[in-house]
Structures are given as structure tokens and as C-alpha cells.
Amino acid sequence: MASLLPTVQGVKPFLIVIAMYAVASAMWLLSTSIGSALTGLNVMFRSERITRLQVGYTWS
């Protein structure tokens, strides 16, 4: 059983891979959340512009 347990040399690259994966997933989550927030702002600005145009047409 002791031979099946990974040695310190075998654990280090494994931890590095896990850390890299965690950083990559965090970056991906951050980028997707920023992208969705930006698209939401875009939609908000667009709808505001459309309503302003409609209000302008109704007032004129």
C-alpha cells in the first residue's frame, strides 16, 4: 500500500496542475461573468435608446 501512495516528487506536479486548473477556471468564470455583465449593460443601453427614440417620436 505504501508503494501506491505518491511520493513528494509525484505530488508536486499534481498540485501544480491542480493550481493551474483552479486559476484557469477562476479566470474563465471571471471572464464569462464580465462578458455577461457587459452584454447586460449593452442590452440596457440599447433598450434605453429605443425607448428614448419612441418617446421622441410620440412627443414630436
Rounded average pLDDT over 37-41 = 84
> Domains of the chain: which residue ranges?
28-60
Average pLDDT over residues 24-48: 86
Cell numbers that stand for 2 in this block: 505504501
Cα(27)–Cα(47) distance, rounded to whole angstroms? 30
Return phi, psi of residue 56, to 5°.
Answer: -60, -40
- pLDDT of 59 above 80: no
> Is the confidence at residue 21, as pLDDT, over 90?
yes
pTM, two decimals, is 0.48
